[in-house]
Structure 1
């Protein structure tokens, strides 16, 4: 009996050694979340993918050769990860825009150049440019225009800005411009020259209008030169400027999203989507916005494809284009897959550079919080519980929100992101690579958890519930500002029932 007990203990001990040794050789913990964390935190492929995308492809304006190259590259990357279902999906974009050249020169009282760049969807100036006196309209409020009066007619208007130091100021910058443009057009202005919100001559590009040309030329000026102009005006000098903007605008263009699927083992018809936008503006190389998160999506796909067992639901990876020009890629995806929205269990979007993920925006749906917290428990010691119940117009979750699909957007530390946002300085060297790897692990744990959870994290909302959410979160006001509310009202966009 003692001998048999000794043999039994020896066998159990030997088996334990065998399996622990096998686990050590495989280098992967048994728990899927631990395995994802271990592999993604030491990933080198995410760095090389980002370097290639930024340094060898570069800026990726939708409709440009660079953007088309990036689509081909992304397809190759997903296929190289072993994913069998990879495709490009086309969509229509009503207008694509790009800058060819931008110049400004002060002619009076002294001659000196001013560094400028056109705002996206700015109207071009006539050949030879616009030469006009400049008029200071302060922050562009109604009282500022009343103060300027008839002096604004035929003038180049100087529009002041605050230094960008928070996401709140960034959103305010976007939200104020459409109304200012309408006032300028009504007042007969020749053009708008806005001060850069970044110091030391840094220029960047924001969209002035979604998919349509603005009614007049709009340019961004280097902050220091802009302030020189205002000081000349304060000194009582008359200032005349020549502004030349040469832009390319094309109607009704075809563009492409990249889609890759890992089929679910039990419910392959149900989809959890992880997305980021592949396009960028062309001033920098689109590293923070949003190349680093393109590399993140591809690396998460690579790791999930290598794991067994696969999640219950299909995980779909979407790299959208047309985002910077007005969220056209994700809108096109939702339109093409509208009949399948009931089968979309969730959509997750990452679009705020490489700042550390602190939680997720729940798209105005507080009821999603318990499930998200449960799924993220394996990374709870990374301080990722800062979930918010806000909703907004601004990234590729928006059309999923309008369709009532549970949608999550990564909340990220903004400080490393804001100085280079949409700027000529948005290059590979600005990315925090360690934070990027960590973010990839957080997103992978979340997406796998969403896809493998027995129950969905929440139902698809009907149109009435979506309408209540839009009103409660203020998204309805944002939609009016951006001239897209009518599409919702006419049921041309969003859930119809």
Structure 2
């Protein structure tokens, strides 16, 4: 980063030597107060513990997420924030499960480890049937299995290859890794990924209709992870589009055993009981919004956000309960210090992130700007996440001018090590100054590279400054992300406190700047 900043500074001096810019101001007295409140009086882990242990997993549309919405709204109000409220967006059905038991009963008895796929029905009691391997990847494969699936439990996945662990499960970013992230990657002309997702999206209903017509009892898929870690994420949440057949994701080790037995011409029988239910009383899901008001009648706004929703197999602690707790803790710190910011500091806890950034997408389009749907009707049926950045023009709304900057937290519980600058060269020297009080906390890396996959994207896609922090990976990707062991035990308390303190300081300084945060050009063809 020092090389990047030196280059930027030299370019500025050469271009306008008589008007060298003053360094970005840092209020070190306020930083001291934020550090004291955040390190010596923290509530971040108490907030997270209630969210994960008491409320539990927060699948979008479920009663649990709505309880979390209500609880976080009330907590913001309790801490003295203003205008705490919920904003709804169209989503579809809610879903939850309370029981999942899968056993092999022939050629021998064995307990199998499996969890239901989200938005799939229960079994309505215990069902029993022969397991059959049926790799069906397109409509062309239907003919091969016609008349063969009645009364069967269908194994839809291949076995994959067992993984060989060759890296530490838990790790922090090294100096070398951080240096690599600083180096700017010049964008390539990336291929359109939406075509592949469109095929999967449109094929799933046809697959389940075929299985139902053929009389299949249930579906089993292999979890994409090894070591008995189960991911059971499915996406058919729209009203009227739910599958008619129960389905589970099974541990890879158990699943491969079943395939080996079948390949050796053993008759494999399974027994399954899944209790699941849908919730159709409200097709909307919700974002929680609260703020610390700025000065004047119509001040500009700075924002911080994290997604409150989670998947359902664990408790959603590192993804992304801790991110929500960090955002809430930053709000609590600033409110406890009775700050009087120039700009309003707004906090958002998003719903629907896991299914395609639904909550932040709706908020951005309702408040800041839109982009037209694609001309291709099939592509337009996809969630907007797959096409929103590719259509033009961007149409802005009045609030677009008022938003100064947005910060997002969604990479697990690892401490903040820096920030992705999203190609904004003017932001780099500002971030460098704001990180100055936190070099002792290992936070100083700034890269102009972009990062994706989370809720800052829609802000960026309508031309607003929006940023995700660089965080230590810990064991987030290695074993926690979207699995049943995503629980409170795996959150690092000191790291969460560090992140909340840095976020609170960034928000304060963004809210107090003389000028609105610098922007890159509005996206255009």
Query: Is this a same-fold pair by TM over 0.5?
Result: yes
- Find the counterpart in structure 2 of residue 287 from structure 1: 317
Distance in 1 of aligned mates of 2:346 and 2:237: 27
Secondary structure, counterpart of 2:509 in structure 1: helix
Q: How far apart, in 2, do the equivalents of 1:193 and 1:246 lie?
A: 16
- SS of the residue 1:82 aligns to: coil
Q: Which moved more, 1:364-373 or 1:55-64?
A: 364-373
241 and 55 in structure 1: CA distance in 2 versus 1, 3 angstrom threshold: closer
Counterpart contact for 1:278–1:291, Cα < 8 Å? yes
Cα distance, 1:317 vs structure 2: 0.7
- Aligned match of 2:75: 77
Residue correspondence of structure 1 range 79-228 to structure 2 within 5 A = 79-122=77-120, 131=129, 133-135=131-133, 137=135, 150=144, 154=149, 155-160=154-159, 163=163, 188=210, 193-209=220-236, 211=238, 213=241, 218-228=247-257
**Matched residue, 2:468:** 409
The answer to whether the aligner puts 1:426 opposite 2:456 as a matched pair is: no
Where do 5+ consecutive residues of structure 2 fail to align? 1-26, 171-192, 369-396
Q: CA deviation at 1:388?
A: 5.5
CA contact (8 A) 1:280 1:324 kept: yes
- Taking the TM superposition and a 5 Å limit, the aligned residue runs for 1:3-402 are 31-122=29-120, 131=129, 133-135=131-133, 137=135, 150=144, 154=149, 155-160=154-159, 163=163, 188=210, 193-209=220-236, 211=238, 213=241, 218-241=247-270, 247-250=276-279, 253-265=283-295, 268-307=298-337, 310-338=340-368, 339=397, 340-363=399-422, 365=424, 368-381=427-440, 382-387=442-447, 389-392=449-452, 394-402=453-461
TM-aligned CA deviation for residue 130 of structure 1? 8.1
Distance 1:347 1:210 in 2: 29
| Deviation sequence 1:163-201 (CA, Å, 0-9, x none) | 59899xxxxxx9988756766776756565333344443
C-alpha separation in 1, matches of 2:520 and 2:279 = 36
Q: Does the 8 Å contact 1:104/1:242 carry over to 2?
A: yes
The 3 A distance-change label for structure 1 pair 271 and 327 is same
CA contact (8 A) 1:96 1:325 kept: no
CA RMSD of aligned residues (A): 3.7
Q: Which structure: greater helix fraction?
A: 1
Structure ranking higher on relative contact order (CA contacts 8 Å, 6+ apart) = 2
State how far apart, in whole Å, the 2-side matches of 1:342 and 1:249 are. 41
So what's the TM-score if we normalise by structure 1? 0.73
Determine the C-alpha separation between the residues in 1 that align with 2:238 and 2:518: 33
SS in 2 for 1:442: helix
Unaligned 5+ runs, structure 1 = 1-28, 168-173, 469-497
Secondary structure of the structure 2 residue equivalent to 1:373: helix
Give deviations 1:395-417, integer Å, cap 9, x for gaps: 22232233222111122222332
Name the CA distance, whole Å, in 1 between partners of 2:252 and 2:197: 17
Secondary structure of 1:414 counterpart: coil
Cα distance in 1, alignment partners of residues 348 and 260 from structure 2: 49
Using structure 2 for the length normalisation, give the TM-score.
Answer: 0.69
Contact preservation (8 Å) 1:347, 1:407: yes
SS of the residue aligned with 1:376?
Answer: helix
Give yes or no for contact 1:257–1:319 (8 Å, CA) kept in 2. Answer: yes
**Structure 2 vs 1, CA of residues 183 and 86 (structure 1 numbering), >3 Å: closer, same or farther?**
closer
